[in-house]
Homo-oligomer: A and B are copies of this chain.
Amino acid sequence: MARIVMKFGGTSVADLDRIRNVAERVRREVEAGNEVAVVVSAMSGTTNQLVGWCQSLSPLHDAREYDAVVSTGEQITAGLVAIALQNLGIEARSWAGWQVPFHTDGAHGKARIERIEGSELVRRMGLGQVAVVTGFQGIGPDNRITTLGRGGSDTSAVALAAALKADRCDIYTDVDGIYTTDPRMVPKARKLERISFEEMLELASVGAKVLQTRSVELAMKERVRVQVLSSFQDLPGTLVVDEDEIVEKEIVSGIAYSRDEAKLTVRRVPDRPGVAAAVFTTLADENVNVDMIVQNISEEGMTDMTFTVGKTDLARAQAALAQKRVDIGYADLLADTNVAKISVVGVGMRSHAGIASTMFKALAEKGINIQVISTSEIKVSILIASDYTELAVRSLHTAYGLDAA
């Protein structure tokens, strides 16, 4: 017997047939003797409609009212899933976030869970009642409903699993697990049996968006074993676990890519202390997030500075830097949106040399030019021309021995 939290996203509860399918999946866990809590998202499309209504009534709407409106989506699903379970003869009841309660801070629209009172749920689960809980929401210090921000249902599930001391948090989604890379791009991509929290975080932040980053951070902190699996197929998923639980560590576990970044180069800027600060303070003041940064060696007292920003922030970054051109004292500002970031991720890198050189060799063989390089403890990222994305990802997948047999 185990205690399990099962989380179903918007596409998994998109209509009544899928809600019946969810109930069937829950039934199987109950009949296997498990204690089950279910966390549900809004039916896909619902949240967007509710958000759209708020926005069209007032672009600068009160976040507290937004929360009151948008939180209804999960309340509907929770009640419907409870009804579908009861219809299968499974004892169940729905819980809104304010009923459990999920205590959050007062940051309406992007609240953080502070404390979950799980004792009543645990008591009822012990008596065989399935708890169907609304994801994405809680109650703030003002006794009003708060939402956690988009994608917050994963975080709700992980936080609930921690509060209930659950053995596992199963995240049902429209993919069947975590792959070594995007299987739509690389047919030889393999599904991973296990992946560490750290690797999952690096993969998520560079484009393999299966789990919300915040939920992985929380799972890592609270040591909640997370499983990612498909709502629609009956296949084992991928376990996201502590590094210690992975016996046979692969040196590289995945290749991620992202086309969401743009490259900016500040040309011929004086190479003296304080210039980098001037550039990046200007961007920070505009709330522009900077990712990779490189600076060339100095020539005649001048240097070039290259960095990447999100494509959606590009126009804002350009405008801000143009305004400070005289202060910063640069000659030219070049932008390139035709770039892709490729990242190789693996906890095994910590104890293995030669990871980066394998990468550079594989890309050189295909004639792919590397524009920017940045590394972290378990990740090497490069920027290349975006036309070469597929070729680069496939070549690296092969070079690191990740191809399926």
Contact = CB atoms under 8 A, between A and B. Distances in A.
Interface in A110-146: 143-145
Contacts of A76: 50, 53, 69, 72
**Size bracket, chain A contacts:** 35 or more
24 contacts: A19-B57, A50-B76, A53-B80, A54-B79, A57-B83, A57-B84, A57-B87, A58-B84, A61-B86, A62-B82, A62-B86, A64-B93, A65-B79, A66-B79, A66-B83, A68-B79, A68-B82, A68-B96, A72-B72, A72-B75, A72-B76, A96-B145, A98-B98, A99-B144
A58 B72 contact: no
Contact of A58 (B66, B86, B94): B86
Given A75-B68, A75-B69, A16 B82 contact: no
A56 interface: yes
A78 interface: yes
If over half of A's interface residues share one DSSP class (helix, strand or loop), that class is named, otherwise mixed; here it is helix
Contacts of A78: 68
B64 A143 contact: no
A143 B139 CA distance: 15
What copy number does this chain have within its complex? 2
Interface of A: 16, 19-20, 50, 53-54, 56-58, 61-62, 64-66, 68-69, 72, 75-76, 78-80, 82-84, 86-87, 93-94, 96, 98-99, 143-145
Nearest to A56: B16
B75 A58 contact: no
Give the 10 A-B CB pairs with smallest separation, nearest first: A69-B79, A72-B72, A68-B79, A58-B87, A65-B79, A61-B83, A57-B83, A65-B82, A65-B83, A57-B84
